[in-house]
Amino acid sequence: MLNHTKLAAALHALSDELFADSAREREMLRQVWERLTSDTTLMYQVRNASAPWPVPTWQGAIDAVYDIQPYTDPYCAVSVDGSQIYPDRHQAVACYLINIGAVVFPYGISDSVVLQSDPHIFQGRDTLFDHATSTDMVNAKRQELELQAGLAWLKQVKERANEAPALLLFDGSLIFWHLSAHEETVRQQLLVRYLTIISELYIHDSLCAWYISMPKSKELINVVRLFLCDFIPERKELYEFTDQFVDASIAYFYLQPRQRSTVFQNHAPVSAEYPAPMHPHFFYIHVGDEIGRVEIPAWIAQDEAKVDLVAQMVLDQCVKGQGYPIVLAEAHEQAVVKGADRDLFYHLIQKIGLQHNSRRPVISKKSFRKQKASF
C-alpha cells in the first residue's frame, strides 16, 4: 500500500522543481513574441525554413484575434468517446472490451437527448499486429470505433434536425500522432482506415472538430525558436529557455476570453499523408478558464463562416460545461470503464467458461490471489 507520509515528503523535496518561478523567462518570451509579430517577413521565412520540429503556416497576421459571438440559434452537439479493458494474460481467454459512449444534445430542437454506451468484445488478433492482443491493437481499434460511431450518430442527427446545424466533437487530436511509433505498413493501413471514415464526413460536408483541453502543443513555440536563432536551429543556446513553455503560454499574451486565434495549418510528418481536404488545421480559443486547442480538417478551415460557427458552438459547449465542452464530458461518462466493470467482465468470462466445461484454467493463481486480497 502507498505510504502517505513518505509520499508527502517526496513531493515536498521536489516542490522547487515542480513549481519553479518562471516569471523572468515568461517576460522574455512575451518580449520576443512582440518583436516577432512586428516582423513583416516572418511568414515567408517560416515557409522557407528547414526546422527539426513541426512549424505551422498561416495567412495574415500570426497574432490575429477574432471575437466569438454568442451562439443562440438552434443546433445539435454530438460526441462519442471510447474506453477499454485490455486483455489480461492471467485470464485463459484472450479477449478485450471496448466501450463506446455516445451523447446527443439538441438545443432549440424538438429531438431527444441521447446518453448511451455500447460494449464491443473482440477475440483473436488483427493481422496488422505481431501480437494477438497487443495494447497498440486495442488502442487502434478503439480509435476506429470512435470515428465510426461519431459518423453514424451525426448522420442520424442530420436526418432529424432539419436545417439546424450539428457539430460532431471528438476529444483529442485530429493528428494521429501515435501512428508515428508504428512501422510503415501498419501506419499506412491504420491511416487509411481512419481517413476513410473521415472522408465520409467530408463528402457530407459535415461540421466536426477535435478539442484538446490544456494543450501541450509547441508549434507557436517552434516559430519563436526559429526567430530567436535566426532560422539556424543548430544554435540551441539561443532558444533553450523556451523549452519550459507551450503554445498556450503565448496565446495568453494576446487572447482574451471569448476570442480565438487565426487558423494555422499543421505540418507534422504524419499530416503530410492526409488528403488535401482533410489536412489538419487548428486554432486556439480562450474559453474563460483556460486556452483550448480546436483542430479541424481543411474543408472547414478554408471556409471562414464554418470556422466561426465551429468556434461559436465549441465556446457554447464550454460555457455549458463550466470550462470544458459538456458534450465531451458526458460522452466520457458514458464510455468510462471502472474497476467494478472490469471485475464484472472477467467474472462473466470465468462463469461462462465454467458453464462450457472448459478444461483450461480460467484464471491464473496469481490473479486469483490478488482478487482474494482485494476483499
**Where do we find the cell 467458461?**
353
Q: pLDDT at residue 37 above 90?
A: yes
Cell 484454467 sits on residue: 361
Domains and CATH numbers, the chain: 65-335 (3.30.2170), 339-373 (no CATH)
pLDDT score recorded for residue 332: 97
Average model confidence (pLDDT) across the chain = 89
Give the residue-averaged pLDDT of 153-159: 91
* pLDDT tens-digit readout, 302-359: 999 999 999 999 999 999 999 999 999 999 999 999 888 888 877 787 777 777 665 5
Long-range pairs, 238-243, Cβ under 8 A, ≥24: 241/25, 241/28, 241/29, 242/29
pLDDT on residue 251: 98
For residue 95, is pLDDT > 70? yes
Q: What is the pLDDT of residue 365?
A: 45
Written as nine digits, the cell of 357 is: 466445461
- Beta strands in the chain, from DSSP E residues, in sequence order: 57-58, 65-67, 75-85, 95-107, 114-123, 166-171, 207-213, 259-261, 264-265, 280-286, 291-297
Q: What is the mean pLDDT of residues 133-148?
A: 88
CB 117 within 8 Å of CB 70: no
The three-point CA angle 271-277-278 to 5° equals 40
Output the pLDDT for position 299.
98
Q: What does the alpha-carbon distance between residue 195 and residue 177 come to, in Å, rounded to a whole number?
A: 14
Query: Is the pLDDT at 276 greater than 80, yes or no?
Result: yes
CB 288 within 8 A of CB 257: yes
The pLDDT of residue 368: 47
CB 179 within 8 A of CB 139: no
Q: Rounded to whole angstroms, how far apart are CA atoms 296 and 246?
A: 20
